[in-house]
Structure 1
Amino acid sequence: MPLNLYLRRAAPLLLLVAVLAATAAAATDQPRYDTLQTTLVADIQPAANRLEAIADVRIRIVDRTNYIAFRLNGNLVVTHVEDDTGEPLRFIQDDTEKFEVMINLVRPRAAGTEMTIHLEYNGLFSRLDFDFFKQLGNPLYAYIGPDMVELPAASMWFPRNTDPMDRSAYELQVTLPTGLRPFTAGLSTETIDTGLTKTYIFKSAQDILAPTLVAGRYQVQDYTFGDLTLQTWFLTEFPEQAGSAQRYAEIVRHLRHRWNWRPVQEPLRIVEVSDNFQAQFGMQDSVFLSTREFTSKNPENRQIIRKFAYQKWLLPMQVATPEDIWILEGLSQYAAALYFEDVKGAEAFDTTMRLLAVDALKYQDAEPIARGVHLGVGSEKYDSVVVAKSAWVFHMLRTLVGKEKFEPLLATIWELGAREPLSTARIADIARQVTGTDYSWFFNQWINTVDLPDFSVEYIVYRLAKGGFQTVGKVNQTLTAFQIPLELKFVTKGQDELKVIDVKGESTRLNIETETRPIQLVIDPNFRILRKSEELEIQVHIVRGDEYFELGDFPSATDEYKRVLERQPRNSHALFKLALVFYEQFNYNTAQNTFREALNGDQQPPWVVALCYMYMGKIFDVLGQRQRAVAEYNKAVNTNDDSRGAVTEATKYLSQPFTRAKTYLPGQQDAAQPELKQPEEDKPDADAPAKDPGR
């Protein structure tokens, strides 16, 4: 896609392009610089969806250069750039692909040079623009509207360093219509009231990551629970606000006791944002929760807990390069998983790690972890590679070094990361210092490659003259340069035995003695290694099908579920999901038949049975066959399985028939085309893992 070129002042366009292009070609990466201070004056006009801003960015040159680049959202148009002497600077703005402003500094600047760049710019953030960026495949969201302003740092609403982990001091001067209250990083030092508008001034007390700005008609309330105080910023009124705050207070209390974490500035603030903003995790001493998350019946899911874990494991920490962000993302997600082990027990922790394995396998071939940041922070591929897979790296590291050494290892990582940049090599060095063992091979194996092992075993069992049995054979796996300690479970007619062998290369000899005859060998029975397996691949197809389902892409969802059924025709989980697709398309006959197929399948997971009966009852109600509907609702109730809410819902419709209005795409009602949207009354709670149809 061609660049939109913005040239200011009377200088030949070709000369400017030649200078910048030649300089850029001479270096593999953009010239580096450190941001020292950003001073931003922003006039926000919600009625017009408009932002007008002036930014003064103080930088220190790291690489000798005659140009620098800032990241800036493509919705924003730069109108003027000058240096700290007032000399106008020429620039090119790419507003379609990289969202960069490349500025010619007139003459080469030596490393260590400090200077201030002054930029003036303006633009619109409306819902239409958000949709435009989604079509480009860029996961940006920013919005300015009459009742809500949401400008995440990731949307680049002000000039940013090309290094997303760069930290600096910030001073923000934000003007808003009276009635909208802003929330951002730093302390509010002054408010200027002019009647129709108010100007708020915020200053950071220390160098921080780029800030997010939200504004709305917030109601601010402090809640105290024993020795813990939370400050809530609510946008909407809903029952049990205090109860909701208390549930999150328990997560904060665990963070405090388990990881010895305290906010830099008390109290921790929990800020309600729109559901479009749900992917944003917050800033230092503040956690963003969407309206859906605030009102969720089950706040203890790994996405929400990860937002709290970022307060410990990401926001205060430093990394050497953007590629090293995997360290902080992996630690945050693994800390969220350990919450389930500490609070819910081993089974909940095992379930969480299996779900993370499914997430990791979804796009495991996209990039190695070391290059995952280039997948786009916040994208599905990024979350698969950099978040889920990195969490598994720390999980496998804990298995390797043992729990007793893993805790001091984490403590050392945190102590160093809070005062110096971390890198993959530094983490490997810390592991060696704490454990006395060199694990460089482990990090190289899991961080720098995309391949996952796929294990198989072949063996023969011999009876020994001295008593007992000897199993001889080999363990095979698909990677040439690979090593890992591997657990093998010998299932016998007596007591099962667990053995560990060191797998190296594609084939490893197996020679194990057991007291009783093995009747089966189970590879990695406790699921300690992130690996390929049919079970996980089946779950990956179901989860990807669920993602398409939520987007209303029913043909793609159908394809994913059918891929499962090609391998496992009696898979009740996939059949149930396929039936839901037909149900959403108002294809009731096919849906009914597919729900029955699911009941005749393997009935795994068990909650599928109750849900199938409940949905079949709904279909009969919609078709006006009340007696048959009641019969299906009673079957659902009789399962006594309310783990997905089927019994509760079926009980409700025993006393009153279920009704469902048929909906249409906008402007297509006459054509009788159904809207690709799940009716609100029938939509499962997407925020509660127990309600998630993909789990």
Structure 2
Amino acid sequence: MKTLYAALIGGSMSALAISTAFAQAPAPESPAYKMYRETTPKINDLVHTKLDVRFDYKKRYLYGKEWVTLKPHFYPTDSLRLDAKGMDLKTIAVVKNGKNVPLKFTYDSLTVAIKLDKTYQGGEAYTLYIDYTSKPNELKAKGSAAISDAKGLYFINPDGTEKDKPTQIWTQGETESSSCWFPTIDKPNQKTTEEIAMTVPAKYVTLSNGRLASQKVNGDGTRTDVWKQELPHSPYLFMMAVGDFKIYKDKWRDKEVSYYLEPKYAPYAKDIFGFTPEVMEFYSKTLGVDYPWYKYSQIVVRDYVSGAMENTSATLHGEYVQGTKRELADRYYDGGRSTIVHELFHQWFGDYVTAESWSNLTVNESFADFSESIWAEYKYGKDAGDAHSYEAMLNYLSQPNAKTKNLVRFHYNDKEDVFDVVTYQKGGRILYMLRNFLGKEAFYKGLNIYLKTNAFKNGEAQQLRLAMEEASGRDLNWFFNQWYYGAGHPILNVTYKWDDATKKQTVYLEQTQDGNAFILPMAIDIYAGGKKVRHNVWMRDKTDTLTFDVAAKPDLVNVDGDKILLTKKTDTKSLDELSFQYFNAPLYLDRFEAIDGVKARQTDEKARKVIVAAMQDKYYGLRLKAINAANITTNDDVRNAAVPVLVKLAQSDENNLVRAAAINALGKLKASGNLNLFKQAYASDSYVIQGAAMNAIGQINPTEALQLAKSREKDAEGAAKQAVINVYATSGTDAEWPYVYNAFKNAGDPNTQFGMVRKVADFAARVKNPEYAQQGIQAIGEVGLKYKQYGVAPSVIQILNGIKDARTKMGDTASAATVDKAVAPLN
């Protein structure tokens, strides 16, 4: 799963969204936290699950019939407990010679305890028939920071009353919500084959796991589709989707690949998902295990409760991955593509081999996070892969409470808590680090052993360790003990001393984190006399002093030469060394660190040269970083050096985001001489460039920007629409308020909505009509309440109180009172 949380922190979110639920989690000393979370014992094993379902759109019910085949795992048993949340259970019977023999059962609304007709021996199969009704909208289900709701089955606009929203049905099983729509043993260490017959209005299409085995048109305007998943998988990976989708058929080798989209986006199916077969080929060859399922489908649905979900052979995506060709041209890798590859990698790590418990979720989600970096590296180059991995590490390091949590976590307050930056971003970075330590060949051989040994079964971190040891011949207990079964990370300080008399270079390493030292194998590269010499060292203690003989004072001593360690590092390089590092050290992070190191020293010519050179870096992410770092509004020397480069970038850089960033930077100068450049950029097909140009024009001529915004109201999308909102919020009148308000209320995903909050607040603070102000206050309050579990409440309260101050000064006591009402539930 690509969680909503991961989607929030992985994109260009405002500071408002970065404050997350994980900082708000219950204290570790709570009773729930003290409980050891064992792997669920296997008393009965699922074997096969056959479902016959139909839907009541008016009541939001599912009417289901189930035939579930099980067998005792080892010990004889005369009883069975199934998860069945919030259902009406009409009949439970054992199937004997084609007849249903009723069984006694007790039901507590969450699980059903069934007395079997006899004692079954280990391995002796039996089949139950269950007639039930699922009522998901009547179920009180607790969501999480990863998944904002947990009722399993979702009816979207079932009555057709919501304008511009299609009628859909879809399911979401992770973590244990499949049992909201069919009785099962809803645990990840269960595996079952599957058959689902869905009876739906004939005008709709369906999607489920496995293959479409048959379709039958009924006489009442419905159609019954039968889907069969003939390889075993866990219940949380079951899925259904029903709606008006257009299907684009693609192919990987001899297997069907298909993309399900709303009709509006069907013409762009290939643009959105068309690289999928290439990713399937790359992963299959890299892992030495071909894509294992019958087919691979991807579907985009409305109002999804997370980011995306890797249902076996049928991934479900939130709508943020889709877009027109123009919109997609501005998004690049992190604009949805990384999610697509993340979910695809799960078809091996998570579906083919599944974590045996939520404590070991790392063998699902850390790998999916890691896969994003290796695909970026393969497709876009090493800089892109390193950038993605480093960004993941920064996301982990930004969460102060994350350092207290083990990667393999046998203690937690709720299973949903495991879906966090530790499991995703930290875990992905650990795998990136392990690959570097072992070498790619041994690492991928280890993954191959792990997958083949545990195919269609369950895995945990210890099995991963054993597979890596078998492949590499190395003992890895030290690595797994500190990274998988321990918490935190090293905080590494690096200082240097050169002794010209003895020609010795000393490097002082110090780990300052609480607790024991981390064992850190690392490369130290010494650049001197036009050559680079690598020294491979191990840091095993909290402090270490390393001395190297060098013929002349080094131009650079580069600790962690592979830039791979998971650490918070403070390095004390001089400006000369940072400049040398930017121009001579080869890696993305070498250049990133150099830009970071010089950005506060731009009064020095060496620092300016680095910034200006970095504006033209080969990797667009560093061009963006340098543009944003340049002090062109406060330093004449920087401005004189940077403006010619910025003009060139604004006019002709191959990357739309870089062009837009250059335009934004030039716009801050408010120089009328750039107006023609901005007007030319405004004519671009790129929404992000067009939006940047509109904002830049607004810096010089607000009236003209307001006219441009009005002309683009109806057809603006993406960044251009945000620019219209920005211009209206900055320079508009009450006449423009309805547009901004409706755009905010109807934003399709949290990224967009959070990005608008402050602008909507600014506008609400100054509109003349108190009713408009109150609309804005209520809408912002609703967003804060909806995402309160993500820890955004304090920031939303601050924003609302800012509106209150402004409205009070205007004498608008009614709006000030509305703020108080909106704030109350956020406290």
Structure-2-length-normalised TM-score: 0.60
Two-structure CA RMSD over aligned residues (Å): 4.7
Cα 1:668–1:497 change in 2 (3 A) is farther
Rounded to whole Å, the distance in 1 between the matches of 2:369 and 2:679 is 37
Q: Does 1:39 find its partner at 2:56?
A: no
Does the 8 Å CA contact 2:518/2:540 hold for their aligned counterparts? yes
Tell me, yes or no, if the aligned pair for 1:166 and 1:209 is still in contact at 8 Å: yes
* Structure-2 separation of matches of 1:152 and 1:57: 20
Query: Do the aligned residues in 1 keep the contact of 2:302 with 2:319 (CA within 8 Å)?
Result: yes
Which residue does 1:188 correspond to in 2?
212
TM superposition shift of 1:345: 0.8
1:503–1:149 CA distance, 2 compared to 1 (3 A): same
Q: Does 1:148 align with 2:173?
A: no
Give the alignment of 1:46-65 within 5 angstroms: 46-62=57-73
1:89 to 94, 100, 104: 104
1:346 to 382, 389, 393: 382
| Match in the other structure for 2:611 | none
Q: Cα gap change, 1:429/1:490 in structure 2, threshold over 3 Å: closer, same or farther? A: same
One-letter code aligned to 2:83? R
> Paired residue for 2:282?
254
Residue 374 of structure 1 and its aligned partner are, at CA, apart by 5.8
Q: Could you tell me which residue of structure 2 aligns to residue 310 of structure 1?
A: 346
Does the Cα contact within 8 Å between 1:176 and 1:199 map onto a contact in 2?
yes
Q: 1:629 to 1:372 in 2, by over 3 A?
A: farther
Match of 1:657 among 684, 699, 708: 708
The answer to whether 1:281 aligns with 2:332 is no
Equivalence for 1:483: 519
Q: Residues 493 and 36 from structure 1, CA distance in 2 versus in 1: closer, same or farther, beyond 3 angstroms?
A: same
Q: 2:489 touches 2:566 (CA, 8 Å); kept in 1? A: yes
> CA separation in 2, counterparts of 1:237 and 1:89?
51
Report the Cα distance in structure 2 between the residues aligned to 1:390 and 1:371, rounded to whole angstroms.
Answer: 12
Letter in 2 for 1:197: T
Corresponding residue for residue 408 of structure 2: 370
Residues 378-397 of structure 1 mapped to structure 2, 5 A cutoff: 382-397=419-434
Q: Which moved more, 1:114-123 or 1:407-416?
A: 114-123
Q: What CA distance in whole angstroms lies between the structure 1 residues aligned with 2:511 and 2:665?
A: 45
Match of 1:209 among 234, 257, 261: 234
Q: Give the Cα–Cα distance (whole angstroms) in 1 for the partners of residues 355 and 251 of structure 2.
A: 35
Q: Residue 528 and residue 54 in structure 1: after superposition, are their counterparts in 2 closer, same or farther (change >3 A)?
A: same
- Indicate conservation of the 8 Å contact 1:598/1:612, yes or no: no
The number of residue pairs the alignment matches comes to 581
Deviation at 1:598, TM superposition (A): 10
Is the alpha carbon distance of 1:114 and 1:250 closer, same or farther for their aligned partners in structure 2, counting shifts above 3 Å? Answer: closer
Any conservation in 1 of the 2:349–2:368 contact (CA below 8 Å)?
yes
Mapped to 2, the partners of 1:616 and 1:460 lie a distance apart of 42
- 1:346 Cα shift? 1.1
Cα deviation for residue 382 of structure 1 reads 1.2
Shift of 1:352: 0.8
Distance 1:286 1:630, change over 3 A: farther
Structure number with higher helix proportion: 2
* Contact persistence 2:373–2:389 (CA under 8 A): yes
Deviation (angstroms), 1:451: 1.6
1:232 maps to 259
Deviates more, 1:409-418 or 1:212-221: 409-418
The more displaced of 396-405 and 27-36 is: 27-36
2:352 aligned partner, one-letter code: P
1:397 counterpart SS class: helix
Residues 236-277 of structure 1: CA distance to partner in whole angstroms, max 9, x if unpaired?
233444444534444344345544565556653333333516
Cα distance per residue 1:612-671 (max 9 Å; x no partner)? 9759979x9xxxxxxx7977866868999x999654334467685224332459896473
Change in CA separation of 1:206 and 1:596 when aligned onto 2, cut-off 3 Å? closer
Deviation at 1:438, TM superposition (A): 0.7
| Partner AA of 1:142 in structure 2 | L
CA change 1:259–1:474 in 2 (3 A) is closer
The answer on 1:218 being equivalent to 2:245 is yes
Contact between 2:280 and 2:344, CA under 8 Å: does it hold in 1?
yes
- Aligned to 1:52, what secondary structure does the other structure show? strand
Q: 2: distance between equivalents of 1:616 and 1:290?
A: 35
Hey, what does 2:565 align to over in structure 1? 529
CA distance, structure 2, for counterparts of residue 216 and residue 40 of structure 1:
19
Cα distance, 1:609 vs structure 2: 11
Q: Is the 8 A contact 1:83 1:89 kept in 2?
A: no
8 A Cα contact 2:369 2:424, kept in partner: yes
Kept after mapping to 2: 8 A contact 1:39/1:170? yes
State the alpha-carbon separation in 1 of the partners of residues 535 and 409 from structure 2.
35
What residue identity is the alignment partner of 1:72? A
* SS at 1:222 equivalent: strand
Could you give the per-residue CA deviations for residues 525-567 of structure 1, whole angstroms, max 9, x where no partner exists?
A: 54211123479xxxxxxxxxxxxxxxxxxxxxxxxxxxxxxxx
Contact 2:192/2:233 (CA < 8 Å) preserved in 1?
yes
Whether 2:187 is the aligned partner of 1:163: answer yes
Which amino acid counterpart does residue 191 of structure 2 have in structure 1? R
How high is the TM-score relative to the length of structure 1? Answer: 0.70
Deviation at 1:449, TM superposition (A): 1.3
- 8 A contact 1:337–1:352 mirrored in 2: yes
Give the 3 Å change call, closer, same or farther, for CA 206–435 of structure 1 in structure 2.
closer
Sequence identity of aligned pairs in percent? 15
C-alpha distance in structure 1 between counterparts of 2:133 and 2:530, whole Å: 75
Which stretches in structure 1 are left out of the alignment for 5+ residues?
1-24, 536-567, 572-593, 621-627, 679-695
Letter paired with 2:224:
T
Map of 1:200 onto structure 2: 225
Give the conservation status (yes or no) of the 8 Å contact 1:491–1:518. yes
Amino acid in the other structure paired with 2:229: S
Are 1:72 and 2:84 an aligned pair? yes
Match of 2:578 in 1: none
- CA drift of 1:36 comes to 1.0
1:456–1:476: 8 Å Cα contact kept in structure 2?
Answer: yes
Tell me how far 1:168 sits from its aligned partner.
0.6
Contact 1:43 / 1:175 at 8 angstroms: preserved in 2? yes
Change (3 A) 1:331 1:26: closer
- Ranges in structure 2 where 5+ consecutive residues have no aligned partner: 1-34, 159-166, 572-598, 603-627, 647-656, 698-703, 711-727, 729-735, 746-769, 782-827
Alignment partners' CA distance in 1, 2:37 and 2:349: 33
Q: Distance in 2 between matches of 1:650 and 1:38?
A: 54
- 1:471 corresponds in structure 2 to 506
CA shift at 1:422, angstroms? 3.2
Shift of 1:493: 8.4
8 A Cα contact 1:228 1:253, kept in partner: no
Match in the other structure for 1:174 = 198
**What pairs up with 1:641-652 in 2 under 5 angstroms?**
647-651=689-693
Question: Does the CA contact (< 8 Å) of 1:610 and 1:646 recur in 2?
Answer: yes
Q: Distance in 2 between matches of 1:652 and 1:130?
A: 46
| 1:444 Cα deviation after fit | 1.5
**Which amino acid is 1:158 matched to?**
F
Q: Read off the aligned partner of 1:143 and give its amino acid letter.
A: Y
1:149 alignment partner AA: I
Q: How far apart are the structure 1 equivalents of 2:63 and 2:666?
A: 55
